[in-house]
């Protein structure tokens, strides 16, 4: 089922409840702000949001803090309301009667980092000297307010303080240089986010009968650069780039894993 499908909410109600959480937020009539959220960690720009007083088709337009967002349309009521969010959208070809599931085709899964610091990813952005705004990011999906970011022209201990749009973020310290394309490192991607891994350079050692290649039945590992009696050469491999993966936290619902 992890193929990005659009699933009817009445067809899989337990799965819908598991994948599309609800949380309380405070609306102000005529304004697009939502405050008082328990977290924005699992939200992204463009994510559908539903609830009483929220117009149909509304999405997240920016994430302004760990507890507040801006919507793409102004609320029609004021006060605390229960919102439903859709971490995987409505699904391919879906609508307001469906919800999406992850599309893991061609990906491998990685456990949610949850602050451990192992999950590191690279993104490319444009920096401007003395500015806290990074632009030109391919996608801000998977980033969250508070995530550490480092790289050329970025002061130490800098974090993201706002997700401005699908291609721009604000950081806690101003950049110290202007550059059209800077590789930045972020630590701890969002649950459900897609990304790429780089596997470090490594050897693919061949096996042969012995160190000289003689067929005497003695099996030893081939040295790097050596040639086996079968004509294979062992070489030092370069890094394997762009290995696709998704950050996951296993969920069990309706008797099946998703």
**Residues 220, 180 contacting (CB under 8 angstroms):** no
When pLDDT is cut at 50, 70 and 90, the band that residue 224 belongs to is very low
Q: Give the count of alpha carbons within 13 A of 109, CB side only.
A: 13
Global pTM exceeds 0.85: no
User: Collapsing DSSP states into helix, strand and coil, what is residue 248?
Assistant: strand
Residue 78 has pLDDT above 90, yes or no: yes
Two structure tokens written together for 53: 């007083």
Of the CATH numbers 1.10.3470, 2.130.10, 3.30.160, 2.40.10, which one belongs to the domain with range 6-100?
2.40.10
Lowest mean pLDDT among 42-46, 124-128, 138-142, 253-257: 253-257
Nearest CA among 111, 144, 114, 164 for reference residue 37: 144
Structural domain boundaries of the chain?
6-100, 113-190
Give the confidence band of 150 by pLDDT, cuts at 50, 70, 90: very high
Cα separation, 142 vs 60, in Å, equals 14
C-alpha torsion angle, residues 257, 142, 101, 114 (rounded to 10): 20
Residue 186 pLDDT class (50, 70, 90 cuts)? confident
């Amino acid at each position: 089922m992890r193929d990005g499908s659009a699933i009817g909410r009445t067809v899989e109600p337990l799965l819908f409840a598991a994948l599309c959480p609800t949380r309380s937020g405070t609306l102000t009539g005529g304004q697009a702000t939502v405050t008082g959220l328990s977290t924005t960690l699992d939200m992204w720009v463009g994510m559908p949001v539903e609830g009483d007083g929220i117009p149909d088709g509304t999405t997240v337009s920016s994430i302004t803090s760990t507890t507040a967002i801006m919507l793409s349309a102004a609320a029609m009521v004021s006060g605390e309301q229960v919102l439903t969010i859709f971490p995987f959208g409505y699904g391919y070809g879906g609508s307001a009667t469906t919800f999406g599931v992850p599309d893991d085709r061609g990906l491998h899964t990685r456990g949610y980092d949850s602050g451990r610091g192992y999950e590191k990813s690279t993104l490319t952005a444009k920096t401007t000297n003395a500015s806290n705004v990074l632009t030109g990011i391919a996608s801000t999906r998977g980033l969250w307010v508070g995530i550490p970011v480092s790289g050329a022209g970025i002061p130490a201990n800098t974090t993201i303080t706002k997700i401005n749009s699908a291609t721009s973020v604000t950081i806690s310290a101003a950049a110290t240089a202007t550059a059209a394309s800077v590789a930045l490192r972020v630590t701890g991607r969002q649950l459900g986010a897609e990304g790429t891994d780089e596997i470090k350079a490594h050897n693919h050692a061949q096996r042969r009968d012995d160190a000289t290649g003689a067929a005497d039945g003695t099996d030893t590992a081939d040295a790097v650069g050596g040639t086996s009696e079968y004509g294979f050469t062992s070489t030092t491999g370069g890094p394997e780039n762009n290995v696709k993966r998704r950050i996951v936290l296993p969920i069990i619902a309706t008797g099946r894993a998703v």
